[in-house]
Chain A
Amino acid sequence: MFIQLLISGIAVGVIYGLIAMGMVLIFRTVGIMNFAQGDFLMFGGYFAYTFNQMFGLNIVISLILAALCMGVIGVIFMRTSYWALRKAQAKAIIVSAMGASIVLREGARHIWGAIPLTLDRVKEGSVVLAGATIQWQYVAIIGIALLMMLLVYFLLEKTFIGNIMQATAQDQYMSSLVGIPVVVSIGLTFALSAVITGICGGLLAPIFFLNNTMGTMAGSKAFAAIVIGGFGSVPGAIIGGLIVGLVEQFGGAYISSTYQLALIYIVLIVFLMFRPKGLFQEKIQEKA
C-alpha cells in the first residue's frame, strides 16, 4: 500500500510539477500567472486522443504530435491573449488569460464533446515491486516527466537560444536593444510552456479520463505547487508539485478521499503562514 501510494504520488506530483514549471516559465517572461495553463493540459490530452484513438497512431507518436500541436497553440495563445496587452496593466492580461481559458474549455467541448474519453497507456499492465502492484503507466509518467525536465533544463541553461529566452525574460527592453526579436523569443517560451504541459494531459488521460474541465482542477493544484515551491523558481515548482501529489495520494488513502483537495489547501495555508516565500527563492537577488 505504502509503495503503491508513493509511486502514484510521485507520478501525479511530477505532472503537477511540470504544469507548474510551464506556468513559471511564462511568469518569469511576462510577469503574470497564466490562468489558462491547466487548459493547455486538457488540450494536449485531446490532441493525443485525436492522434491515438481517431487516427489509430501509436501512443508515443501521438504524444509527440500532440506536443507539436501544443507548440502552435502556445504561440497562438501568446499572440492573441498577451502580445496586444503587453504594455497594459497585469490585471488586464490576467483577465485576458481567463477569457482564453473559457475559449479553450468550451472550444474543446465543441470539437470533442462532453463525454469523458480515454486513450492508450504508454505501457499496459502492472509490475509487482516489493509486494506492491504498480501500474506501468505511473512508471512511464515518472520517466517521461523526468526526461522532459532534463530537456527543458538543457535547453534553457546549455543552449544559446535558451540564454536568449532567459535574457528576454529578464529584460525585454534591453533584449530589443541587442537585436533580439522579442516577439519570437517570447513566442518560443509560450510554445515550450504549452508543450510540456500538453504532454502531461496525454499521460494523465488514461488514468483520470479526459474531459474539458480537467484543466481547471489541475491548474489550481499546480498553482498551489508554485506557492509552496517559491514563486518564480523552477526547482521550487517541481518540488512543490511533488509535495502536492504526495499529499493528495496519501491524504486520500489514509485520511479521506473526500477531503483530498482540502488537504492540499491546508498544506498551502500552512506554507503561507510559516514560509510565505516558499521553499526555493529566485537565483537573482536585489543587491543590498
Chain B
Amino acid sequence: MLRIEKLVTRYGSIEALHGISLSIGANEMVALIGANGAGKTTLLNSISGTLSTSGRIEFEGKDIQQMKAAHIAKMGVLQVPEGRHVFPGLTVEENLLVGTVASKGMRLKPGNNSEDMEMVFAIFPRLKERRKQLAWSMSGGEQQMLAIGRALMGKPKLLMLDEPSMGLAPIVIEELFEKIVEINKAGVPILMVEQNARLALKVSDRAYILERGIITAEGKSGDLLHDPKVHEAYLGKTVVRVKNKENVGKEDE
C-alpha cells in the first residue's frame, strides 16, 4: 500500500528525518514508536503532504511525494492529527460531513451520506447522541472519536492516527483502542503514532522505532514487546517518578 524510501524532511536548515524507509501492507496495523522529538509527527505530516520532503513516498504504486495535501487526502490517505483538530464552530454532524470532501470533493450540497454516517455512529454511538452539538464543547475523548469518525467519512485507504490516546483517561483509551482495532479489522490499514508504547505494541501487527529522525528497529510487535532493549527504552523497568507536581493531570480532558 504505502512504501517510503530514503525520506528526508527539513525545517529550514534543520534536518528532522534523515532517510526513513518504511512500508505498510494491506489490512496491516503498524505502530510508530519513539520519544518526544524523534520525528513521529513530522513523518506523518511528510506523508500527508503538509511538509516539503525529498525521497520517495509511494501509495498504491503512485509517487505522492510532490503532491499537495488536499490531493493526497483525496487519494484516501487520511491523517487524524495530534490534538484532534475538530472544527470547533461546526456541529458534530457538520464535522462528519466536511470529512466527505476527501471522497466526494467540494460541492454545494452534501448529498446523501446517511449510510456512511450510520457506519460511523455504529462505531461511535456517542457521536449520534451529540450530532447537533458544537464540536468545541465536547470532551477530549468525544473529540477524538469525532476526529476519527470524520476521517472514516472520507473512506480512508490508509488511516494515520497521531497520538490517539493523548490526554484521555485510561478507561476512555481502552474503549477507543477497541474501536481502532475494529476499524482495522474492517479492512482499513492503520499507521499509528503512539507515546503509550506498550498499548501500541499490543494492538499492532508490526512496529517501527524512531529515534532522532532514523529508524533504529522494526519487526513484529509481539517480538518487540519482548525485546529487552525496547523494553528498557520504551516500556520501562522501573516506575517513573513524577517530579513536577504541576504537570500531573494537566493534559486530561
Contacts and interface: CB of A to CB of B under 8 A. Distances in A.
Interface of A: 159-161, 163-164, 166-167, 170-171, 173-174, 176-182, 184-185, 282-285, 287
27 contacts: A160-B97, A160-B107, A161-B107, A161-B108, A167-B98, A170-B88, A170-B89, A171-B87, A173-B81, A174-B87, A177-B69, A177-B81, A177-B85, A178-B73, A178-B99, A178-B102, A178-B150, A178-B154, A179-B71, A179-B74, A179-B103, A180-B70, A182-B70, A283-B89, A283-B134, A285-B136, A287-B136
Given A163-B97, A166-B90, A176 B69 contact: yes
B89 to A, nearest CB: 5
B78 A177 contact: yes
Contact of B87 (A159, A170, A181, A184): A170
B230 interface: no
A272 B21 CA distance: 57
Contacts of A181: 68, 70, 106
B79 to A, nearest CB: 5
B66 interface: no
Q: DSSP class of A's interface residues: helix, strand, loop or mixed?
A: helix
A283 B78 CA distance: 28
Interface in B45-92: 48-50, 68-71, 73-74, 78-79, 81, 85, 87-90
B88 A284 contact: yes
A86 to B, nearest CB: 13
B101 interface: yes
A179 B81 contact: no
Interface string B186-203: 000000000000000000
Given A179-B73, A179-B154, A181-B70, A287 B108 contact: no
B245 interface: no
B116 interface: no
B241 interface: no
A166 B87 CA distance: 8
Given A178-B154, A181-B70, 7 more contacts: A160-B110, A161-B106, A174-B87, A176-B70, A177-B73, A179-B74, A284-B88
Contacts of B70: 176, 179-182
Contacts of A161: 106-108
Interface residues of B, number: 37
B137 to A, nearest CB: 7
Given A174-B85, A178-B73, A178-B150, A163 B50 contact: no
A55 to B, nearest CB: 31
Contacts of B107: 160-161
A178 B101 contact: yes
B50 A173 contact: yes
Contacts of B211: none
B50 A177 contact: yes
A285 B102 CA distance: 28
Contacts of A182: 70
Nearest to B101: A179
Given A177-B73, A180-B106, A181-B70, A171 B85 contact: yes
Contacts of A285: 136-137
A287 B133 CA distance: 14
Contacts of B74: 179
B109 A160 contact: yes
B90 A163 contact: yes
A171 to B, nearest CB: 6
Contacts of B95: 167
Contacts of B110: 160
Contacts of B87: 166-167, 170-171, 174
A182 B101 CA distance: 12
A23 B99 CA distance: 28
Interface string B128-146: 0000001011000000000
Contacts of A171: 85, 87-88
B218 interface: no
A277 B137 CA distance: 21
Contacts of B28: none
Given A179-B73, A179-B101, A287-B136, A170 B90 contact: yes
A287 B137 contact: yes
Contact of B106 (A164, A166, A174, A283): A164
A83 B210 CA distance: 35
A171 B143 CA distance: 15
Contacts of A179: 70-71, 73-74, 101-103, 105, 154
A173 B105 CA distance: 17
